[in-house]
Structure 1
Amino acid sequence: MACARRQKRKGGKSTAFHRWQLARPPGIRSIVAALGKQATVTNQSTSAEDLAQPIADAGKKLAMLRDYRARLEALRERAGSDVDALIKVNRELAQVQSELESSAGEQAYLLQRVQTELLTVSIGSQEHQAFWKPVSQALAEFGDNLSRGIATAITATAFLLPWGVLLLALLWLGRKLRLRPRWPWRRNGNS
């Protein structure tokens, strides 16, 4: 099983390639050795999962199911002509056989995981930019940036226009209220 993902940051500054591959341990060693010849290995780590107990449990379950199946087959031989007993024993045998196959598959999967390793390879490169590279990039993106700036200004105007009208109305109302005389006797200069 292999999976690959390519990643590129804006402006072409950095490119990274990741690959996950399942292989047998000798395959892992040969891949790491080949990569070490082509570039510098900067980090290498190993992790492991202990599967001894799940494998032992699966083995015990398989042995128990095989023993139970053998007893059911012996019971089926003794049932003879009792149809009702034969039906019950055969139904139980089918159930046990299904569990036996499921457990055998689980144990095979666990054994395959023990014999298989997961390799994660991350390869990255850093490009060095020339002095004029950012300037030429900005010039190339000028039209796009200009259209985005105009669109942002239009959107801001659409949001601010109703608030501006409301603010002007409040200022006008406040000015009208302030210019109106409050006390009639102060208008004539009398206190």
Structure 2
Amino acid sequence: MEYQGSCHCGRIAFTVQADVPIKDVIDCNCSMCRRRGSLLWFAPREAFQLGTDIADVATYQFNTHNIDHHHCRACGTAPYSEAVDPRSGLPMVAINVRCLPQVELAGFVAMTARRVWTRVLIVPALLLVLAACAKQSESAADAGGAAEAGVASPEGAFLAYEHDVQVQLEAAQIAPRIQQVAQACQNAKFGECAVLQVDQRSGEQPSGEVKVRIAPKGVESLIGLAGEGGKLQARNTRAEDLAQQVADTALTKARLEKEHARLLSYQDRGDLKIEDLMAITTRLSEIEAGVEQATKDAAQQRRRIDTQLVTMHFDTTSGQRSRSEIGEALSESGSILSTSVAFLIRAAAALLPVGLVALVMAWIVRALIRRRRRKLPPKT
């Protein structure tokens, strides 16, 4: 269903699409809406279409500056506002239904902000209670199956998971296992996967590391392959909440795109001076670069949310390390002995001249002392 709206003087006119007729609106009690008496209805930004010149739209922000409150430059009517939903990261528009002539205000159910929060908090709480009761009746087998699916970001959340795994294997198994894990990732054996790093160290104590980014459903299977026939020594899983970063990036992009559209409308005017036109062109280039960077940041954030980073460290077993250290010590004993003997020979060679000089000096001192004693008169 399409609604048509406008400000009082008509310089701002717009249309907005609704899947169902508007019935519930919000009587917002913020400091702004209390003063202007807005009744708000929310819709995706893509459902909104401005039909007049954006130059007639003035914008006001306050407090956190996250919402663009638009009003007419001529009559002052505030028909709509724009912002980014912090939960979904999608641009939204808040329509003041008092500016929609098709709407019969008498038939509306207006909720205050307090009632909205009550509904937002109580309903999910009831759903959680029901879900908890249902989970208590599930079997242990179902719980095990859920564990095999791995940890995934809950719907609507923006969590970036990272896993660190320590695997102990026999020395002969490490190199083939590293190749096997990397190959499984490259072939997407357990789902979408990308190999980021492969390190392999040989010798008597071989070790290695494989770092991949994989879809959540394949995490447990890949870790299981890495530890097959060995021992999972340690595992650490952590998550970073990217909700604020996603919201900030979306808000930045939306603001830049809106400014870009506004400057384009100014650029089409015929009364612009050359210096103004050059300034607008320069700013448009800056905005386009900013939009491109915001798009890249959003893609990287989405990648971190949709896939998980798994780092697998491979090492030999403790018994092999002990045997290897003993064998290494025995093999090095000969060289250690020869090095010690060589050191003693060098030390003796270095100290021999010093010893001879000290011996001569001691003989001279002793001779002088004896001569002095002879010159002394005998005691009576």
The one-letter amino acid of 1:116's match is T
Of residues 178, 201, 206, the one that matches 1:6 is: 201
Identify the range of structure 1 (99-108 vs 40-49) with the bigger mean alpha-carbon deviation: 40-49
Cα distance in 2 for residues equivalent to 1:42 and 1:22: 21
Return the letter of the residue paired with 2:201: R
Distance in 2, matches of 1:113 and 1:177, equals 89
Q: 1:137 to 1:57 in 2, by over 3 A?
A: closer
Query: Taking structure 1 as reference, are residues 180 and 62 closer, same or farther at Cα in structure 2, changes over 3 Å only?
Result: farther
Is 1:115 aligned to residue 306 of structure 2?
yes
TM-score by length of structure 2 reads 0.41
Indicate if the aligned counterparts of 1:21 and 1:118 stay in contact, CA closer than 8 A: yes
- Percent of pairs with identical residues: 26
1:49 aligns with 2:229: no
Structure 1 residue runs of 5 or longer lacking an equivalent are none
Distance 1:95 1:156 in 2: 73
Verify: 1:25 aligned to 2:220, yes or no.
no
Which blocks of at least 5 consecutive residues in structure 2 are unaligned?
1-195
Q: Is the 8 A contact 1:72 1:89 kept in 2?
A: yes
Kindly state the Cα deviation for residue 182 of structure 1 after the two structures are TM-superposed. Answer: 5.7
Give the direction of change, closer, same or farther, for the CA distance of 1:177–1:59 in structure 2 (3 Å limit).
farther
The one-letter amino acid paired with 1:98 is A
How far apart in 2 are the matches of 1:23 and 1:54? 22
Structure 1 vs Structure 2 CA RMSD: 3.3
Deviation at 1:147, TM superposition (A): 4.2
Q: For 1:57 and 1:173, how far apart are their aligned partners in 2?
A: 90
The one-letter code sitting in structure 2 at the alignment partner of 1:93 is: L
Is 1:148 the equivalent of 2:343?
no
State the distance in 1 between where 2:300 and 2:353 align. 67
Counterpart contact for 1:23–1:117, Cα < 8 Å: yes
Report the CA distance between 1:73 and its aligned residue.
1.0
In structure 2, do the counterparts of structure 1 residues 147 and 77 end up closer, same or farther at CA, with 3 Å as the change threshold? Answer: same
Does 2:299 match 1:75?
A: no
Residue 89 of structure 1: how far off its partner (Å): 0.8
CA drift of 1:94 comes to 0.6
**Counterpart position of 2:251:** 60
Distance (whole Å) between structure 2 residues aligned to residue 184 and residue 74 of structure 1: 121
The equivalent residue for 2:292 is 101
Instruction: Write the distance in 2 (CA, Å) between the matches of 1:6 and 1:177.
Output: 70
Q: Secondary structure at the match of 1:78?
A: coil
**1:54, CA displacement in angstroms?**
1.4
Q: Alpha-carbon deviation of 1:25?
A: 1.8
Q: Whose helix proportion is higher, 1 or 2?
A: 1
For 2:216 and 2:364, the matched residues in 1 are separated by 84
SS across alignment from 2:199: strand
What amino acid sits opposite 1:22 in the alignment?
Answer: R
TM-score under structure 1 length normalisation: 0.74
Question: Which fold has the larger relative contact order, with Cα–Cα distance below 8 Å and residues 6 or more apart in sequence?
Answer: 1
Tell me how far apart the structure 2 counterparts of residues 159 and 152 of structure 1 sit (CA, whole Å): 10
Q: Distance in 2 between matches of 1:175 and 1:150?
A: 36
